[in-house]
Amino acid sequence: MRIESVWIGRGGQGIVTAVYIVAHASIADGFYAIANPEFGAERRGAPVKAFLTITDYFEDSPEPIKNPDVAVFLDDKLIDTMRVVVEAVKPGGYVIVSSGKGPEEVAGIIGRKDVNIAVVDGIGLALKHVGLAVPNGPMVGVFAKVMGLPRLESIKEAIASQLGKAVEQNFAAAVEAYKTAVVIPAAEAGSAKISVEIPTTSAFLTGDYELVGWDQIPEGGLVYPGSSLRYKTGSWRVEKPIIDHSKCIMCRRCWLFCPDDAVLEVWREAKGPGGRVVRVKAIDFSYDYCKGCGICAQVCPTGAIQMVREL
């Protein structure tokens, strides 16, 4: 037996812990496993990937997985940016997605009829049981459901060992995901051979630059100024801020505290006295860059800003 899986998520979603938990539980079940997460992004929200191979024979090669049996997405907004991973899944394999969207809609985004698709609202379950938007526990549960391993008891042992805290809550999230995930079986067999492979390039290195040869790189690794404008960090968001302008007193605390300069002061048309349309200053958000940290809502003195679930 050999199950190769690739896990795609973002820094902070617990992807490293997720593969450690599945590997740990598989080992407890008597299998061999290699959980090989990618490190280096060190940035909450940045795309990361992890490899997990489960075998029933000794295996110690941390080779990158090119064509997985299973692809697990902890964030449906990464499907488009990491589409190569979806395309590289072996026909008849599995794509497991955490999404607040309906299963059919997710299947449409995946766009492959020759793979099995499993969908669960991982973030919703994590928020419900753990109180954090960290969907790793639920995704472990869905993995166990569709692959038939590891056993739930082993997953609980692994959560206790790998997390050491909130064990019951995380396990409850995993179990509910195990029970409620919707599985859409593959409709077609697909071609036996697939031409796409996951490149060995790190997931988080997906900037708009070309990987040039050693003779083309500025000496000493000198880096000329780039621009953070190029990196639309808005996709990292789980929740987004919305504002009720009738409650806003334009104190600009949100503008002051936003760590990403994503709170904007804009002109807005409003109805003035006597029905006259006047232009007034108002607070708005730059959703291309807002990471959804919620600080604006936290510091708002009138409750004008609310965070709403987006993912």
Binding-site ranges for another protein (CB under 8 A): 40, 201-202, 205, 211-215, 217-225
Quote the least distance from Cβ 204 to another protein, whole Å: 8
DSSP 220: G
Quote the least distance from Cβ 215 to another protein, whole Å: 7
Under DSSP, is residue 215 helix (H, G, I), strand (E, B) or coil? helix
Nearest to 18 by CA among 167, 203, 159, 198: 159
Give every CB contact of residue 302 below 8 A, 6+ residues apart in sequence.
247, 248, 249
Give every CB contact of residue 211 below 8 A, 6+ residues apart in sequence.
201
Q: Which is nearer to another protein, 43 or 66 (CB)?
A: 43
Q: Residues 103, 104, 106, 111: is their CA dihedral positive or negative?
A: positive
Q: Which is nearer to another protein, 1 or 222 (CB)?
A: 222
**Residue owning tokens 């998520």:** 9
Quote the least distance from Cβ 279 to another protein, whole Å: 38
d(CA 35, CA 1): 16
d(CA 212, CA 219): 13
| Phi, psi angles (nearest 5°) of residue 48 | -135, 160
Quote the least distance from Cβ 216 to another protein, whole Å: 8
Q: Residues 151, 157, 158, 160: is their CA dihedral positive or negative?
A: positive
The bridge status of strand 263-271 relative to strand 32-37 is unpaired
Q: Which is nearer to another protein, 195 or 216 (CB)?
A: 216
Q: Which is nearer to another protein, 43 or 113 (CB)?
A: 43
Q: Which is nearer to another protein, 205 or 308 (CB)?
A: 205
Q: Which is nearer to another protein, 230 or 271 (CB)?
A: 230
Quote the least distance from Cβ 40 to another protein, whole Å: 6
Kindly state the tokens that stand for 246: 């009738």
d(CA 151, CA 14): 20
Q: Which is nearer to another protein, 201 or 302 (CB)?
A: 201
Quote the least distance from Cβ 128 to another protein, whole Å: 37
Give 82-130 as a 3 state SS string. Answer: CHHHHHHCCCCCEEEEECCCCHHHHHHHHCCCCCEEEEECHHHHHHHHC
Quote the least distance from Cβ 64 to another protein, whole Å: 11
Q: Which is nearer to another protein, 37 or 103 (CB)?
A: 37
Quote the least distance from Cβ 89 to another protein, whole Å: 24
